[in-house]
Structures are given as C-alpha cells and as structure tokens.
Chain A
Amino acid sequence: MSLEKFLQNAVSSWMNEEGPNSDIVLSSRVRLARNMTDFRFSTLYSSEEAKEIVDRVKDKLSLYPGNLGELEFLPTREIQPLQKRVLMEKHLISPNLAEDTNYGAVLLSSEEDISIMVNEEDHIRIQCLYPGLQLKEALQRANQIDDWFESEFDFAFDEKHGYLTTCPTNVGTGLRASVMMHLPGLVLTQQLNRIIPAINQLGLVVRGIYGEGSEALGNIFQISNQTTLGKSEEDIVEDLLSVVKQIIDKEHSARDALVKTSNIQLEDRIFRSLGVLEHSRIIESKEAAKCLSDVRLGIDLGYIKVISKNILNELMILTQPGFLQQYSGGPLRPNERDIRRSSLIRERIKLDKDTCEEEK
C-alpha cells in the first residue's frame, strides 16, 4: 500500500537537507487556503458535495505537471486513526483532517514537501515545507501549485475580500506563512516572554509546535502571520522574515551570553540531558523533548560532536505517541509508551555514536 512509505520514516526526506539558519530555524511552511466557487463551504456542504470536490481534484490530478512534484492521492477514509496520527505528527495533515472520517483527502509528494489537503476547513489547502529559513522559496512553490489549480478550477474570489475562505481569519490571501524555531537560549535567559507580546503587536503569532492551543514542547515555537488581509503575499512573507531574522539574532546573542556567563552550568545541563537520553529506562514525552532540546543546543554549540543534529529531528517526531505505536505495531498504554520511548531513544543514539566511531 502506498501509504506505508509516508508512515515508515519519521523524517520526511525534505528534512534531511540542511537549510539556511538551520541551527535555529527547523522549517519554513507556507499554506494557501482556497475554495471552489460552485460548492458550499465545509461548514454546510453535504456528503455528496464533499465527495464531488474530492472527485474533481482526483480527476484533474493526471494533468498535474510533473515539474511541481508527483502527488500521491490518499483519501482519509482509507487511513486508519493511528496512521492519521502519524501523518499529523509529521505535519503532513492537520489535526482537523485527522479527525475527518468522511470525504477528506490528502495529496502528498514523495519528498513530503508538498501536502495538499482536500476538504479540510477549506476545500483546498496547499502546503509547502522547506528546511531552514526559506519562506520565499516556499511561497514561490505554493504559488506555482496554486496557479496550476487556478487553471483547472474556479476559486471563490472577490475583488474586495480576495480569496474567500470558510473562516474570516483566513480571507484575503488565504496565506499562512510560518517558521518552526528552536529557541532554547531565549527560553533559558527568560527573554521570550518579553518578545512574544511585541511579536503579537506586529500581527504575528507565536504558538507551540502543533499549532493552535498546543504547548511549546522542547523549546520549539511556531511563528506565523495572523493577518491575511490588506497586505500582499510577498509583504506578509517579508514582514515575517524580518521578525524571524531579528529573533535569530537575539537567540544567537542569548546563546553567546549563556556560554560566556554560565558555561559550566550550561555544559552540565546539556550533558545531564544526554545522560538521561542515553541511560533512562522510562521517559515521558515532555522530559524527552526537553532533553532533546538540550542535546540539540549542545550540538549547535559544539559541546557534543558524536551525534548528528538530524537524529534529533527524527527523535522529536519518532517519540510522539502516534509514531511510537505505529513503530510497535499496535496501541500502547501511556506507561508502555514511556518505556518504549526510552528504549527507542537509546537505540538511535547508540546507532549514531557507533557510526561516528566507525567514520573516525
């Protein structure tokens, strides 16, 4: 079954590439929300309408130009709940679509850098993901895909309000641009709490790793635009970029300051966390995320040389409930997950260290 390949690896292949500023920015994402003119929105549409939307997209898919990346069509009703959770943990589908049992679908590129959701809150949501800070590249790609869709479908649009979306928070450009940032320095030096309100005033939002309402696990924060109306797509991305660049600078200074003022404490914290990851036998997701964040910082600062940064990207995703259960081939109770999680982390770190040894 073609779904399998999207479930097997924690890390999507696009994530293996190192992007600009990847010591702080994990990924850049652009999403465009679009609706077809001749159907009601998801709030009201009938199952028949929903089905027809999916069918139309599926029918046109054969015309989709190969240079934009081949797409695999996966209807959500054919995906098991646990598998949906895994796709969600990889950010390939939204929690909203993961709950769908009706006529949703997702179109995935083999690199998993393009994910097009059908019948999520809007009829079509085009999402492009890039490693590191590459918002402009992500926007350009999303725009190309959007242009293709527009050549095949009539999208709801009016001159005044722009692209008409189900929720008025997305109307206009329908664009949500976001970056995932690892900010341990700003958290440790307690500066982030002061920065967040300033960011909010600029029409941007800071959230935890899984978007709205989620907690910032492992010092990972998502920063995205709040307003979609009144500015062009390019300006929205430009404004977000400029704020992100300032945060990167601030995070660098915070890390420098930490190294200067509390080097030994920092080193102690990092190596303790590595110790926990290497030796614990039971670990909860929160603690795992904290330790993984510390170790990642340790790699960025050059304290830890025997583990690759990539393995941490992988473990951040792999140690979440959906993945753990997928990996174990069945449902696990929370305490079983904690045991499984710790053994998985130990195995992976050991594997990485062994590879490092061999290379030497």
Chain B
Amino acid sequence: MVCQECNERPATLHFTKVINGEKTEVHLCEQCAQDKGEMFMFDSSSGFSVNNLLAGLLNIAPAFKQAKETEIPKTEVLQCEKCKMTFQRFINVGRFGCAHCYETFKDELTPLLKRVHSGNVEHHGKVPERMGGAIHIKKKIQQLKSDLQTMIADEEFEKAAEIRDEIRSLEKDANKEGGDKG
C-alpha cells in the first residue's frame, strides 16, 4: 500500500482515527506521519508503545491544545524547579524528569493516574523500611482500624477491644515519632 499523503513511499503506519464517532482509516509513510504531526504516538526507536499513548491521553484536553498554539507567557509555564522539566515537555515525552516532578505536576497528574491505573491514585504497597517509620505506623493503624470494623460487625468484642488498645498504643508511638522529627 502506498502512503496516502505523498503517493510515493510505502505506507508503514496504518491506523483508525475516530473523530466525533466517525471512523477514518489512515495509511501513511513514516515521514509524512511525522510531517502531519501524527507521530505523537510513535517514537522512532521502539515503535508504538503503551507509554507513547500517554501523550495522547494528556493531549486531549482542548484547553491545553489551545495553549499550545498560542505563545504562553514565561511566568505561567508550569515547570519543575529541580529538573526544569516543563509540563509541555512531560506531555510530549510522557516521562518525568525527576522525583520532584510528581510534586510539581500533582494537580494535573491525578486525572492521568486515574486513567492509567484503573481509577487508583494512591499507593497501597511496600514502604521503604528506613524512610518510612511514621508511614509504617500510619499504615498499620489504618489496617487495624479496618480490622476493628470487621470485628465489631462480627460481634467479636473481646478481640475488638484488643485491637482498639493496639491502635491506641500505636497512635502514641506515631505522635512520639512525629514529635521527635519536629
């Protein structure tokens, strides 16, 4: 199949565009795709990938598209102070510049994380031992509180009382830990 743009080179990218419910088949060679700006989903080295789709996910905000076309004043550019990654660049590459970017872009990030992680935005997994003293206690308390609810629902009041005491003692520890740090 020949590229529908240049009618010269063979078409190597084939995809279906859906705009307002209307489907269009697109067949392009790599060069024309790049010229037409269809390449936002493809990076030249590894081809189509899930990560490249992120750019697409972020790019759909119409307000953002407008901003892209008009010149944005320097002061309004959202930029990570640590690594100087701009939000614009993050959208283009779909990757952060440093750990601090998560903080810088946190408001914009939530809807993206929701999309990518089936509606989840918060970590519920492992916490590094040496940095997470207070976090560990907090997580443990959360877990115990949920256990407590189950015990009460099951009318196992003796066990519930034990858990309640454990929560109290942990909360004391947590306050102490916080106090030490402060």
Shortest distance between the CB of A296 and any CB in chain B (Å): 29
Query: Known interface pairs A43-B85, A99-B45. Does A229 touch B98 (Cβ–Cβ under 8 Å)?
Result: no
Q: How many of A's residues come within 8 Å of B, CB to CB?
A: 51
Expressed in whole angstroms, the Cα–Cα distance for A42 and B109 within the complex equals 20
Contact check, A143 vs B126: say whether CB atoms are below 8 A apart.
Answer: yes
Contact check, A213 vs B46: say whether CB atoms are below 8 A apart.
Answer: yes
Expressed in whole angstroms, the Cα–Cα distance for A171 and B121 within the complex equals 10
Tell yes or no: A238 within 8 A of B by CB.
no
Nearest neighbor of A214 in chain B, beta-carbon distance: B47
Contact check, A157 vs B131: say whether CB atoms are below 8 A apart.
Answer: yes
Contact check, A229 vs B123: say whether CB atoms are below 8 A apart.
Answer: yes
* Interface positions of A (Cβ within 8 A of B): 35, 37, 39-44, 95-96, 99, 121, 143, 146-147, 150-151, 154-169, 171-173, 175, 203, 205, 212-213, 226-233, 235-236
Nearest neighbor of B82 in chain A, beta-carbon distance: A40
Contact check, B54 vs A213: say whether CB atoms are below 8 A apart.
Answer: no
**B125 contacts which chain A residues (CB < 8 A)?**
162, 172-173, 175, 231-233, 236
Contact with A40, one of B46, B97, B128, B129 (Cβ below 8 angstroms): B97
Apart from A160-B123, A164-B102, A168-B113, list 12 A-B contacts with CB within 8 A.
A39-B98, A40-B82, A41-B99, A43-B93, A44-B98, A165-B96, A168-B109, A173-B126, A203-B118, A212-B50, A231-B125, A233-B125
Contact check, A229 vs B121: say whether CB atoms are below 8 A apart.
Answer: yes
Contact check, B128 vs A168: say whether CB atoms are below 8 A apart.
Answer: no
Contact check, A40 vs B98: say whether CB atoms are below 8 A apart.
Answer: yes
Nearest neighbor of A202 in chain B, beta-carbon distance: B118
Contact with A169, one of B51, B84, B128, B132 (Cβ below 8 angstroms): B51
Which bracket fits the contact residues of B?
A: 35 or more
Contact with B122, one of A165, A213, A230, A233 (Cβ below 8 angstroms): A230
Tell yes or no: B75 within 8 A of A by CB.
no
Contact with B99, one of A164, A172, A232, A236 (Cβ below 8 angstroms): A164
Tell yes or no: B116 within 8 A of A by CB.
yes
Expressed in whole angstroms, the Cα–Cα distance for A171 and B124 within the complex equals 11
Tell yes or no: B157 within 8 A of A by CB.
no
Contact check, B123 vs A172: say whether CB atoms are below 8 A apart.
Answer: yes
**B122 contacts which chain A residues (CB < 8 A)?**
160-161, 229-230
Contact check, B46 vs A150: say whether CB atoms are below 8 A apart.
Answer: no
**B109 contacts which chain A residues (CB < 8 A)?**
168
**B102 contacts which chain A residues (CB < 8 A)?**
158, 161, 164, 171
Tell yes or no: B64 within 8 A of A by CB.
no
Shortest distance between the CB of B97 and any CB in chain A (Å): 4
Shortest distance between the CB of B169 and any CB in chain A (Å): 22
Shortest distance between the CB of B123 and any CB in chain A (Å): 3
**B47 contacts which chain A residues (CB < 8 A)?**
213
Tell yes or no: B152 within 8 A of A by CB.
no
**A232 contacts which chain B residues (CB < 8 A)?**
124-126
**B118 contacts which chain A residues (CB < 8 A)?**
203, 226-227, 230
Residues of chain B from 73 to 129 with CB closer than 8 A to chain A in the complex: 82-85, 93-99, 102-103, 109, 112-113, 116-129
**A229 contacts which chain B residues (CB < 8 A)?**
113, 116-117, 120-123
**A165 contacts which chain B residues (CB < 8 A)?**
96
**A146 contacts which chain B residues (CB < 8 A)?**
126
Tell yes or no: B130 within 8 A of A by CB.
yes
Tell yes or no: B135 within 8 A of A by CB.
yes
Contact with B123, one of A39, A99, A150, A161 (Cβ below 8 angstroms): A161
Residues of chain B from 127 to 142 with CB closer than 8 A to chain A in the complex: 127-132, 135
